[in-house]
Structure 1
């Protein structure tokens, strides 16, 4: 898992929120062995099915964490749908839920992988999902996290570390009361990586693999993103439709979308302009100057 995360920190520009990209992270020998698993192969003394499946789900989880870091605070729809699908799939492997997703992983993982590993991977992917949707309070993600939070230890291995991960994820989803989100600057990604380090504690005093105080370093990655419109005469907040233009990058073309205040804006590095639209208000076009630009 850590090797996959480290690899994709180096190959940062190649990360894509797609099933095909996650599949490309899995070595062909592991992929073929997992998907062509048969009873005869399991009984063979030369074949370690447990090690194969352990490697498979750890690679998938590491790739999901890399996607969460790459699209932190972006509310990217493709990343959200992908991480949500993987979270629900892992959850269905542990306990059947009514939500169904496309078949993206082999069935019957619990037959080869211990319950604790599946729970760990499930909660790490859910945490990555909340990083992508940070500050948005998205209802679908919140329902999933609320379900995970309501599970009791009687249902399985729901220990202190897993509960901490869910609580952290809910905090990310409503970051700053919906006014803040995560940046993707170098220092912000470093802070998020330390926060999301994929080794969860077993108790409040467990600091063997990761100092628990480091979980608070996500604060370094936060930045205010909310835009609020107010009436010029009364000073009271009002709803106002906005058209937001996101600048062209090497990953996508210039795009426009509409939102209603109060809302979160994209990162300043990719934000081109904001226009007030609708017949109720005087039209205004605000051009965003990139950070670090000399205005004089």
Structure 2
């Protein structure tokens, strides 16, 4: 059942990602087409004049307010000449406010795409994080608790934590529990990283550090874990981190046994019914053979 649930989850995740990429592609194409139609059809004013052919193609921009003038001279060919009915396009006038809005929109899109990505490799390990479980200790979901403590690394220069506003603490998978599980894959982009999906708490940052008692939730699956803390700035962007393990995530790991839904009474009942079915089958086979001999 866990393997089936994992396969269903993986299929749903892949389907959602495929639909998301399709949506982004369609939305980008629609926005581009709308932008082109808006410029060429609604706001373009074409003035046709007769002029002598020019031997080269030239694009000239002039910017007298309140409009921006764009003059286009093209290399006259029979096909192009017939296409424009012997009229050369002299100028296209567009409101400067429209161009400013378009430029601002494109710049904003570029800024959002580049600024939203926070890479884990770019963060400094400025926090010292400790957790109460001993290395190799086994905890049970819905039963045990974890005490997490964090503090700023005292060896760092003064003023290191001046930009920190909050501390976000999460429960993270160890590499041994990520093998053959793409939905737990570690990525450098924190928006796509699946290493730490379980949030423990988010607390205000304090220079003296802090601690938190976390009751292991019943929904935590069986795996090997460690604890990681992120320092957030005033915009809730990760700027530093700390964790209870080393850089390779191989030390100070602990295990959590999740709730599988199986109990001892259920296992005993299943074993009894299985034994009864085998005995019943044997009894009826023996009885049929005796009847056949008679």
TM value normalised by structure 1: 0.22
Structure richer in strand, relative to its length: 2
The structure with higher relative contact order (CA 8 Å, sep 6+) is 2
Structure richer in helix, relative to its length: 1
TM value normalised by structure 2: 0.22
